[in-house]
A and B are shown apart, each in its own frame.
Chain A
């Protein structure tokens, strides 16, 4: 595990991922930047279609045709992932950074027993073990995600959705990576199970000291379990900061709207959502991408793209209200 206290574990700089479709380039991630310190948990929120999954896949270097990483850097512990060869990247996956998939329902190979799926990734990273070691390792992994070791001999179709998601968690931590990216890990599960699986993920994160990027679209839910928040909109980073600060004083109008629209617990207010529609990623509006829906937009917002700047210590925002002087 990483003991580096100085400097972030992960630095994403000006990352750009475009999907080249017939009509042009869909700028799914367009110049996103953020840092993450080791052992910390960051939430990445944004409406559906804002580019969160694309960002996750880009960090795993698993963007598929017609998508491409157009530019930027992703520096994990001093190494730029963008510059790695395919084979180097393969070795980095699971060992340094791992992913918990979104749809656990279909994320396991239906024709292979759980134990084999648990160890094949390890074996391909050069781990060798005796039969007993292998079985012990599998048992320990399953127990660590609160699963019965008997699950090892089962096939995916014999497990419930929650159990499958736990299996994928176990797989992702098999080599104790520095960073785990979880893309809406529980969105396919029902609420009670969602909570329990999240508890397991949180506990493991504590035990292993993993850094986690938790992706979701529910800011309220997210706030309960992450110390830092990154807000995305239309492929761009709007605001990054500590969760507490961000709730106390949201700087970006978009963040403000997101927080205002959260249902308040006691009056059971209706979830109002934010008026307006998300802009096209093919032809993003000029200036700030959010100006079409922003209640505080002014002339400059329609013309000039705001810079993503550190306006207070460890507090970043892309908005002319705070950067134009």
Chain B
């Protein structure tokens, strides 16, 4: 029943439907796809090198001897996992800071707002670069360490969005009522505001995840990250390292590029769709 209503809604909100569809496809590709590959072949020196796509290696192989089909299945999953982990942590911190600072206001809010604004001006990628190069051995970062580093900047945008939503919601009648009824601040945040802000939390999450993926791609393309793992960003790094262009290995370039495009398309469409859900533009004024 509920599922049917949801599917019906997706029909009216094609952006959300399309975005979730692409995301579902990617998730299936990385999970169900594992049934068709040998995960070991996603790593170097497991298959013959430099093979164009063929029946045996449908995605071809690279110059390190990875089966790119296996590499794409494992790597896309890894990149999504990194992005989602960092995005989720970022949203968690963002929600905590956004709700408390927006709701309670005062000096705490002023400080949070100031820090957020300053950090929004500083390009997060450069910040990540600085952190990644000073904190650890750049070429041996494990995926989860990468996710943690990415989450250091992933909370900024969600904090900003959630805080401004809380600020505008604070003035609304039902929050005032709850306050008059003697609900505590935490209760109001959890019981009254949270449910109403769900679409905005979801938008923030989508933004945070795609921001984190972008960050991981940028770092990995520079070789910062685990060079052993076949993440999408690392593929880009090796493509450049082995100058795949000069050697005409188009498949090696094209595959990660398509996967990356799909990932970002999915999250963009999802946030456009969620935005439509949160404030329907088609709502007509009379």
Residues of A near any B CB (own CB < 8 A): 48-49, 53
Contacts and interface: CB of A to CB of B under 8 A. Distances in A.
3 contacts: A48-B286, A49-B286, A53-B286
Nearest to A19: B284
Contacts of A53: 286
Contacts, number: 3
A53 B285 CA distance: 11
A53 B286 CA distance: 8
A239 B286 CA distance: 24
- Residues of B in contact with A, size category: under 10
Contacts of A48: 286
By secondary structure, the B interface counts as: loop
B282 to A, nearest CB: 10
Contacts of B286: 48-49, 53
Interface string B244-286: 0000000000000000000000000000000000000000001
A211 B268 CA distance: 53
A250 B239 CA distance: 85
A48 B286 CA distance: 9
Nearest to A49: B286
A257 to B, nearest CB: 23
Nearest to A28: B286
A53 B284 CA distance: 14
Contacts of A49: 286
A172 B286 CA distance: 22
A48 B285 CA distance: 12
A278 to B, nearest CB: 13
A49 B284 CA distance: 12
A297 B286 CA distance: 30
B28 to A, nearest CB: 33
A293 B164 CA distance: 47
Pairs of residues from A and B, 3 with the lowest C-beta to C-beta distance, nearest first: A49-B286, A53-B286, A48-B286
A41 to B, nearest CB: 24
B285 to A, nearest CB: 9
A160 B286 CA distance: 23
Nearest to B285: A103
B142 to A, nearest CB: 52
Interface in B95-138: none
A64 to B, nearest CB: 11
A96 to B, nearest CB: 27
A4 to B, nearest CB: 35
Nearest to A54: B286
A62 to B, nearest CB: 15
A94 to B, nearest CB: 24
A261 B263 CA distance: 61
A195 B286 CA distance: 24
Interface string B200-227: 0000000000000000000000000000
B284 to A, nearest CB: 9
Nearest to A21: B284
A55 to B, nearest CB: 13
A287 to B, nearest CB: 26
Nearest to A103: B285
Interface in B152-169: none
B286 to A, nearest CB: 7
A49 B286 CA distance: 8
A22 to B, nearest CB: 10
